[in-house]
Amino acid sequence: MSSTISSRSSCTLQQNCPPEIQIQLRDVRDLLADMRGASGGSLLVSELDPDDDEDAAGEASAFGIFPIEFNILRDDEFQIRRGYYGLALTYADDQEVMPLIERTDDLEFRLASAIYRMTTETRPHVNFVQGFDAKGLADIPGLRESLADRYEIGSIDISGDSGSDISGDSTEVLIVGGATSTLDSLAVQRIEEYVDQGGAALLLMEPILLNPQSPYPLPVRSGLESMLSDRGVEFSGSLVADLQSNERVSLGRRGLFNVIAPYPLWPIAIPASDHAITSSLNSVTLAWAAELNVTDTARVTPLWQTTPAGITRAPMESIIPDQEWDVPPDQLSVHTLAVAVTPDEGDTQGRMVIVGDATFTEGQFVQGNPSNLIFLANTIDWLAQDESLIRIRSQDRTPPTFVFASDYRKVMLKWGNLVGIPLLFVLIGVYRVTGRKRRAQSRWKEVVT
């Protein structure tokens, strides 16, 4: 934090609370102490106890922080207690209040975002392209909550003669959210001119359109393929599957049981490089994603890729989960699923991020893998050249995906845990018992002789 920032934090906490709250309370205090130390005196922290101080109770009420009821175990019975567990940040005439601290795993990011919002006069504009059956802000659950504190989020119509040109003054980041209808020539031209003039763009490329009546999807061409090719990225439209790292889906009931099977067309991608966008992220879950071929390695950096067990399929092949995936080992390889384009120094073009999928932003995938939403928010921060919160947002997340190089290693680890470890203890016990007998016989022989 800059030394010119002056902010005040007021925390009202109750000492006599359940053990799980005591652990959270310690985390909150430690975090506030660390942030105060890092601020160089710009962040003032005070802890209030409204139960014993009427002025503190009045201040808490003014912030909208009111007492809550909770149970504690006392004298072998549960008793009801009331206490305060909230936090408020103030800066000049602005304030940010958390009436109840429900979780602390992302508290650092929420506090940093609140401080950023209160101390920043203008906010960058993020605009979604309207039409062309593309996704908008309402189609991506959780994104508004992640970005609303720091960005102005809207939409823009760029189609046909009635569409608007894209100005860098009113659009810092442009998002094309998986258009499944082909963009007209004027829309493509406007996007190209915007990027050429230094604008930043996130292009979510949807390779197929699902057919509810058939297991065979329809291929999609957005009209942006030639633009990507000119910037060092070839969009083939081929679907990518990963035979090692993928999601599992239900095949329905088979007799008495619900059958769960791996679905390689929903790959769990792993980081392809050390990039700010993927910082501290372990994986993202994609769905029916397209391969991206990098032809300009100087400007284009891969972000996400498959494991070495990746394959490609034609976009019109069957996508049903219940099918055979027998592929010769010599046909398996790594495939790139998302890239970042950074212009050369002195180049007037803007940054771009291209992802071979847009379905990963939908609710079931965001809920199944929260890193999907974090990746999307990190991408927008990077495109807006505001990378200060990326590291904080990505902290304390899910552990790395457990990927095996072969089924043999997976089976060996499984049976090693089930049989090997117990067998090891049995062998140690046998050794100790037989060794004890030998030692006893040796001692008696010495006595006899």
pLDDT at 15 over 60: no
Amino acid present at 323: Q
Q: pLDDT by residue (tens digit) across 311-327?
A: 999 988 999 998 888 89
Output the pLDDT for position 407: 67
Q: pLDDT by residue (tens digit) across 336-350?
A: 999 999 998 888 899
pLDDT at 283 over 60: yes
Same structural domain, 188 and 258:
yes
Cβ atoms of 303 and 356 within 8 Å: the answer is no
Query: In DSSP terms, which residues pair with 341 in a beta bridge?
Result: 300, 352
Question: How is residue 112 written in tokens?
Answer: 């940093």
The residue out of 78, 104, 119 marking a domain boundary is: 119
Same structural domain, 111 and 154:
no
Q: Please check whether residue 405 lies inside any domain of the structure.
A: no
Cβ atoms of 435 and 428 within 8 Å: the answer is no
Q: Residue 38 sits in which domain range?
A: 7-119
Q: Please check whether residue 442 lies inside any domain of the structure.
A: no
Same structural domain, 71 and 152:
no
Average pLDDT, the chain: 85
Same structural domain, 105 and 140:
no
Same structural domain, 129 and 114:
no
CATH number at residue 41: 3.40.30
Same structural domain, 241 and 112:
no
Q: pLDDT by residue (tens digit) across 371-419?
A: 999 999 999 999 998 766 776 766 644 455 566 666 677 777 777 888 8
Same structural domain, 222 and 238:
yes
Same structural domain, 129 and 112:
no
The residue out of 62, 88, 119 marking a domain boundary is: 119
Total domain count, the chain: 3
Tell me how far apart the alpha carbons of residues 330 and 354 are, in angstroms, rounded to a whole number: 28
Closest by CA to 280, choosing from 362, 410, 202, 377, is 377
pLDDT at 446 over 80: no
- In the chain, what percentage of residues exceed pLDDT 70? 87
The residue out of 119, 135, 169 marking a domain boundary is: 119
Same structural domain, 159 and 268:
yes
Same structural domain, 251 and 336:
yes
- In the chain, what percentage of residues exceed pLDDT 90? 47
Output the pLDDT for position 13: 45
Same structural domain, 301 and 340:
yes
Q: pLDDT by residue (tens digit) across 87-126?
A: 888 887 788 888 888 877 778 878 887 887 788 778 899 9
Global pTM reads 0.74
Output the pLDDT for position 386: 72
Tell me how far apart the alpha carbons of residues 388 and 201 are, in angstroms, rounded to a whole number: 19
Query: Is the backbone of residue 198 left (phi > 0), alpha (psi -120 to 50) or beta?
Result: left
Same structural domain, 275 and 259:
yes
